[in-house]
Amino acid sequence: MRTIAVVGTSVAGARAARSLRDAGFDGRLVLVGDDAHRPYDRPPLSKDFLAGTVDAPDIALLDEQDEADLAVELHLGVRVERLDPAAARLRCSDGREIPTDGVVIATGARPRRLPGSEGVEGVHVLRTLDDAVALRSALHDGSPRVVVVGAGFIGAEVASTCRRLGLEVTVLDAATLPLEPLLGERIARCCVELHTDHGTEVRRGTSVARLRTGPGPRVTGVELDDGSVLPADVVVTGIGIVPNTEWLEGAGLSVANGVRTDEGMVCDLPNVVAVGDVARYRTGDGAHRHEHWTSAGEQAGVAATNLLAGRTTTAFRPSGYFWSDQYGRTLQLAGHPGREDRVEIVDGDTGDRTFTARWTDASGATTAVFGMGSPRAFGRLRRDLRRARQAA
C-alpha cells in the first residue's frame, strides 16, 4: 500500500495512525476528521476539563511534533462524505478527493439527543471538546441547578464534577437500577449509593416527559412522566450514542449498529478496517461494539496489522477494561461478567465504597473483576485474570 487514510481523529484514529507506523508502514498516511481541533483525549472532558483544572493543551493526543514524527497529513474540520471503493478514493465536504489504497474507519459516534430539546437553550450533550467548553461555561456561570438525564458512566462523571463545583444536581434514569445489566444488582446498587453519599439526588425508574421553558427558549425545568417538575438551569443528556456510519452508504460495507467487521476488525472489503465506537466486530458468540477508551487502543493495533497484511492474521481479544472517576473514587472493571455469574467481595467493604469484587462462572473460572477506590488490589486481580486467560 502506498497511501492509507484514517477517517476520524478521536483516540481510535490517532492510535491507528501510530499503530500503522509502528507496524512498519512507510507510505503516505492521511488523518482526516470533522473535528476542528487536533486529536485530544476524551475521558478528561467530563472530569478535570469540565471542572476547569485542565485545559485543551493538557489533553492533546497529537501535537505538531507528533505530526512531524509520524509524517502524517492532518486535515481538520473536514467531513468525509463518501467512500468510493471503485475509484479508491474518499470524497470530502470541502470538495477534496483523497486517493487511498487502504482505509481505517474511526468516525466514532454522536450523542443521542433528548426528544424535544431542539432549539432549547441550556440543554447539553458531552462528546467533543466544543461540547465540553460550552458545558463548562454554563456550569461556571453562577450556581445553576443541574439535571443529568442518564445514569451511565458519562452522566455519573458529570454529576460528580457538578458536586465538586458545589452545584445542586439531580440524576434521572429510566432504569430501576442503573448499571445492573452490566454489573449485577449488588455492585450496581453500590454505584447508585455513591451518588447519594455525596449529595446527588438520584431519581430511578423515571423518564422525561418534556422540557419546560420560558419566557424565551431557555430551559427552566424538566417535567417527568409522573407530572412532577424539577427546576433546572442546565440539563445534560447522557442517554447513549449513535455510530457515525451514514457516509458509508453505497460503499459495499455491512452496517448495522456500527460497521460490521470480522474478529480482526477487517470489513467486507479487505483494504478497509474499522476501530473504536463505530466498529461492531464478530466473535463466536455474536457481534459486539465497545464504547471504551481502552478498546479503541487495543483494536487499533490489531486493525493496523491486518490492514497491512491484506487479510486477517490477528484476532482482537478485548480485555474488557474501563475505568470511571467519581466523587474521588476510581471505579475499574476488567473482563466480561455474565448475568448468571456469581459475584463475591474479595476484600474491603461495599459500605465503605473501598473494595474489590470478582465474578466466577459455573465452572469456578474468573470472568471479571471490579474495584472501587482500591486500585492496588484491583491491579492484582486484573493481573491474575490476564494470566488465567493466557493459560486457557
pLDDT tens digits for range 230-269: 999 999 999 999 999 999 999 999 999 999 999 999 999 9
| Number of folded domains that form the chain | 3
Q: How many CB atoms lie within 10 A of CB 258?
A: 24
Q: Does residue 312 surpass a pLDDT of 80?
A: yes
**Are residues 84 and 45 part of one domain?**
yes
User: Taking residues 179-197, what's their average pLDDT?
Assistant: 96
pLDDT tens digits, one per residue of 137-163: 999 999 999 999 999 999 999 999 999
Handedness of CA 261, 266, 272, 273 (dihedral sign): positive
What integer best gives the mean pLDDT of the chain? 95
Residue ending a domain, among 260, 282, 309, is 309
Establish if 363 belongs to a structural domain: yes
Establish if 262 belongs to a structural domain: yes
What is the reported pLDDT for 319? 86
Which three three-digit cell numbers place residue 241? 450514542
Output the domain CATH number for residue 82: 3.50.50.60
Residue 103 near residue 273 (C-beta atoms within 8 A): yes
Residue ending a domain, among 237, 256, 283, is 237
Which three three-digit cell numbers place residue 194? 455513591
**Are residues 125 and 105 part of one domain?**
no
**Are residues 34 and 101 part of one domain?**
yes
Establish if 321 belongs to a structural domain: no
User: Taking residues 195-213, what's their average pLDDT?
Assistant: 97
Domain around 195? 113-237
Helices (H), ranges, the chain: 11-22, 48-51, 64-70, 129-139, 153-164, 180-197, 293-309, 375-391
Establish if 67 belongs to a structural domain: yes
- Distance of alpha carbon 173 from alpha carbon 195, whole angstroms: 13
User: How many Cα atoms sit within 13 Å of 327 on the Cβ side?
Assistant: 19
Q: Which runs of E-coded beta strand occur in 106-143?
A: 109-111, 123-124
Q: How many CB atoms lie within 10 A of CB 344?
A: 10
User: Taking residues 49-54, what's their average pLDDT?
Assistant: 96
**Are residues 157 and 43 part of one domain?**
no
**Are residues 134 and 21 part of one domain?**
no
- Residue 369 bridge partners (DSSP): 334, 358
How sure is the predictor about 57, in pLDDT bands with cuts at 50, 70 and 90? very high
Q: Does residue 385 surpass a pLDDT of 70?
A: yes
CA 29 to chain centre: 25
Establish if 29 belongs to a structural domain: yes
Which three three-digit cell numbers place residue 61? 493526543
Q: Does residue 117 surpass a pLDDT of 90?
A: yes
Establish if 323 belongs to a structural domain: no
Four-point Cα dihedral 155, 157, 158, 163, nearest 10 = 120
Residue ending a domain, among 193, 216, 237, is 237
User: Taking residues 106-130, what's their average pLDDT?
Assistant: 96
pLDDT tens digits, one per residue of 335-383: 999 889 999 999 999 999 999 999 999 999 999 999 999 999 999 999 9
What is the reported pLDDT for 292? 86
Residue 332 near residue 370 (C-beta atoms within 8 A): yes
What is the reported pLDDT for 375? 94
**Are residues 301 and 187 part of one domain?**
no
What is the reported pLDDT for 392? 65
Q: Does residue 391 surpass a pLDDT of 80?
A: no
**Are residues 355 and 342 part of one domain?**
yes
How sure is the predictor about 289, in pLDDT bands with cuts at 50, 70 and 90? very high
Establish if 319 belongs to a structural domain: no
Query: Residue 317 is which amino acid?
Result: R
What is the reported pLDDT for 390? 74
**Are residues 105 and 142 part of one domain?**
no
Residue 163 near residue 195 (C-beta atoms within 8 A): no
**Are residues 92 and 42 part of one domain?**
yes
What is the reported pLDDT for 299? 96
Establish if 320 belongs to a structural domain: no
The owner of cell 505538531 is: 64
What is the reported pLDDT for 1? 86
Contacts 24+ apart (CB under 8 A), 349-353: 350/186, 350/187, 350/190, 353/190, 353/193, 353/194, 353/197, 353/329
**Are residues 250 and 218 part of one domain?**
no
**Are residues 144 and 191 part of one domain?**
yes
Helix axes 293-309, 11-22, angle to 10 degrees: 40
**Are residues 207 and 125 part of one domain?**
yes
- Distance of alpha carbon 312 from alpha carbon 357, whole angstroms: 36
